[in-house]
Each structure stands twice: as C-alpha cells, then as structure tokens.
Structure 1
C-alpha cells in the first residue's frame, strides 16, 4: 500500500509540473513556433523563465524572460492583425513568484487585493508599472505588438510587462511602427500563416529605477508558409536611433551571434530560408 501511495504522489507531482505555465521549456505552447521549433539555447539568459502566456484560460503567445534583467529576451506569436481598440490595462506574471499563484497573467492590484501579496514580492522576479513611470526618451515597447492581433481579447495579453522592454521613444513611434504596420503587411502578402519572433539584445544600462535593463538592439524575424513554399525576413534596430535595417533571416542570426559573442544563433526551423 505504501508503494502505491508514493507512486500516486509522484504521478500527481508530474501532473502539477506539466500544468505549470512558467517553467523550463515551451512544451505547453509550441504552437507559436513554426514546426514546433523554438530558437536554440543561444539566447538563453542566466536567470531564464519560459512563459506560455495565458489569458482567459487560453495560450496567447510564448516568451523567454530574463528575471534578473527584468526584460523578455524574445516573444513568439502568430501574425493575425486587426483593427479593434487598443487595451489600456497592464498586467504581470503571477507564476514568476511561484507555482502556487494563478497561471493566468493578472493586474498588480488584483494580486495585491485578492491574493494578498505585496508589490515587493512581485518586484523580486519581474518589472512592475512603477519601474516605467517618469521615463524620458523611452517608452514601454511591446515585443509582441498589440496591432498584430485581431480582437480586443487577443490584443489584451500583449499588455503584460513580461512582453515589454524600455524602447527608444522615437524608434517605437517612428521606424519601428512603420515596420510593424507597413512593412509586415507587404511582406505577408500571399502568406497562409506567419510565425514571428521578436527580441531584444540586453544593453549596458538601466532605466532610472535601476531594476530594468535597456536593450541595445530590438529585432524581429518572421517565417511564413505560402502556396508555393516558404518565405522569411528580419529587421534589427539600434535602440537609440530611429532607423530599422531590413535583413534576411540568415543575416539577422549572424548579427545576433556577433552581438552575443556566440558561434551560432538559430531562430527558426531549418525549413525557413536564410537567404
């Protein structure tokens, strides 16, 4: 009987771990990566969290988060643009505090009022709204952008601070927006489905709170299926200039390898063309 009870405990533990939305892999949300293939481990930070972003009991996108720098390394999603209103609610990730907290993203006030945590507990593992107050020359920059989703319900989950980096204000409102709203529309013509990974290269400075890293570069990459084959493209921007450089996927991977001092960076499945 004792061995049976122990077996049941182990089985229950495995089920609990399997249902955790913040963990050590993207196994629960591989659907957001082409051919279920996330980037290789080259971009993994020292203190990582693999987040299957959940809202309204649904997986919305995937994020590799750097808990020590308090910024996402990248977010992965499917491109489905729409014109519904832009949400104004901002949320955080409860399970970065521990697996006993809700698996769905939520507001700071809800966690404080309903789950009786204090703001200091939230701040230990992630950025909070207070960090982004009073910024000069920087804005809350989405990696997974609001405009690349069709409905209010699907746009809202992008407003989690685990999807946000301090982005140069002119870049965010200028050349980066032109890429997100203009170039992407042109590039995705003829695509049946488009998979996108957007990331940030950590920099050497922080915002005034001293807790959140300011990336040196922001980049985006995409791979899409067409009726005749595969198509891929990429861009990168220095996070202090209002300029976006259009690249091939292979050029971006080589650029990231150089910036990180690595031998190889692979963002997509090998079916996605590098040239």
Structure 2
C-alpha cells in the first residue's frame, strides 16, 4: 500500500515537471487529439520538437515543430470559436533554447532583457519576428487560428511564431479564411467536440535568406463527435500560391499527404474517424 502511495506521489511530481517541449504528446498533452491519438510518425521531420503550447501556465494546444525548416509541421486543438479581440503581441518558445529557460511562451523582448538571451541565439532555435518583416505577397499565417478560440488567453496562445508559417496573403485573407470562418461553422453543426489538426507541407522556397521555409501546401482535418454512435470527419488542402481550397474526405487528404511527404502512409486521427 505504501509502495503504491509512493508511486502516485512520484507520478504527480513528474506531471508537474512537464515542460513546453516534451518527448511525446501522448504522455504530456493528449487532450488535444481525438481518442488521445496524435498523427503518426509519417509526418515527423528530421529535427522535430513536440510542444505542448503553454501560456500563463496552461496548455492550449499542441504543435509538432520542425527545427530545421523553422515552421510547424502541424498544430492540434479543440475547436471552440467565440467573439473577442484579436491579440497583437507575438510570442516565441523559450524551451526550444533549452530546458533552463521558461516553460511558457514569452515575448522576444522578455527573453532578451530579462533572461539575457541574444537575438542571435534565439534565432538559432526558431523563427523570430525579423524573419517575417518586409515580406512580399506573404504574411504570417496561423495554423491554429485565434478565431477558433473563445477567450483572450486561448487566442493569445495562438500568437506564437511556432504556430506560424509564411502563407500566401491572398489565400490567408481569402479562401483559407472562408474555410476557417464559414465552412467550419457549417461542418461542425451538431458536434459536441471537434478535434482539429492543421499542417503545412515544406516547399522548395524560403524567406529570411533561407532561414524559414515557405510551405508548398496548407491542410486542415477535423474529426467531430456528434453523439455516441456517430463520428464525422472532413478535410481541406490548398496550394500556398493560389487562392483556392479543395474540400476532401479525411482518407483523401491522408493519401495526398502520404505522397507529398513521402515518409509512409499518413494517419491523422484514431481509426474510428471515418476516412470516406
């Protein structure tokens, strides 16, 4: 009995110690994935970082980050839209620098002035604000959009550069925005909980003198629980130089991503999500 109690105490201590950059989503922030099942290894880049996105000591979503390309592979979250102000402050992920740094996302200014981190050192671990300045035809595109969250803290948490890719500005403000703001509302009618994974396929072009990859495609998939007996899923994909979004089944998107990534069959959700 005493041994069991000690194990429980040890487990609780380990849970308290979880940082932003973790070893697996299953053990750290599985709540953002349907049936606590993240996408499979077919999406993993050469230099991955698993981030449980923490803001003000609370997890809000999960991001698989590509340290080499300096863009997210995908962000996973629960769809909970609501009205509210759009944040203006951009944040970075201190834990990508190393475990000695804060466990919650911070402003660049805070890391430079309070923690004596040079901008050069910060830029080695991730994209920084300067990378996104003076862009032509591109802007900062959220994978997990702030409009899919219902309070200020959860919207603020999406304003981390680890959730951002260089996105075609016409697509970001046009067809992609229509999908996020209109199609999602229609598709989620009757849903009790909607799990979403939004990702970016690395392309052949870069911004910031080769530092940050410009994705060739953006994609989004959702799996929604309507009731105990009915689950539905849908997906979209868009080329990152056209103002068009293609609506797909979940199975069609997974097959398309399997070809685009070339690392084996892609699975985005638990097998209970319908593929057709």
Corresponding position of 1:255:
256
Between the aligned partners of 2:223 and 2:14, the Cα distance in structure 1 is: 33
Q: CA deviation at 1:222?
A: 0.2
Corresponding position of 1:61:
61
Contact 2:196-2:220 within 8 A present in 1 as well: yes
Q: CA deviation at 1:63?
A: 0.2
Stretches (4+) displaced over 6 A: none
SS at match of 1:243: coil
Between the aligned partners of 2:266 and 2:239, the Cα distance in structure 1 is: 19
Deviations for 1:122-163, whole angstroms, at most 9, x for unmatched residues? 101100000000000000000000100001111000000000
Between the aligned partners of 2:18 and 2:119, the Cα distance in structure 1 is: 26
Contact 1:21-1:28 within 8 A present in 2 as well: no
Corresponding position of 1:167:
167
Between the aligned partners of 2:263 and 2:28, the Cα distance in structure 1 is: 28
Q: How does 1:135-150 map to 2 (within 5 A)?
A: 135-150=135-150
Between the aligned partners of 1:47 and 1:262, the Cα distance in structure 2 is: 14
Between the aligned partners of 2:45 and 2:223, the Cα distance in structure 1 is: 24
Corresponding position of 1:209:
209
Aligned residues: 264
Corresponding position of 1:117:
117
Contact 2:22-2:28 within 8 A present in 1 as well: no
Q: How does 1:215-230 map to 2 (within 5 A)?
A: 215-227=215-227, 228-230=229-231
Contact 2:233-2:250 within 8 A present in 1 as well: yes
Normalising by structure 1, we get a TM-score of 0.93
- Select between 106-115 and 207-216 the one with higher mean Cα deviation: 207-216
| Cα RMSD, aligned residues only | 1.5
| Runs of 5+ unmatched residues, structure 1 | 1-10
SS at match of 2:176: helix
SS at match of 1:191: coil
1:19 aligns with 2:37: no
Contact 1:235-1:246 within 8 A present in 2 as well: yes
Change over 3 Å in CA distance of 1:17–1:71 after alignment to 2: farther
Normalising by structure 2, we get a TM-score of 0.93
| Runs of 5+ unmatched residues, structure 2 | 1-9
Contact 2:43-2:263 within 8 A present in 1 as well: no
Corresponding position of 1:156:
156
1:242 aligns with 2:222: no
- Select between 257-266 and 238-247 the one with higher mean Cα deviation: 257-266
Deviations for 1:190-245, whole angstroms, at most 9, x for unmatched residues? 00000000000000110143200000000000000002410000000000000000
Contact 1:72-1:165 within 8 A present in 2 as well: yes
Between the aligned partners of 2:210 and 2:47, the Cα distance in structure 1 is: 18
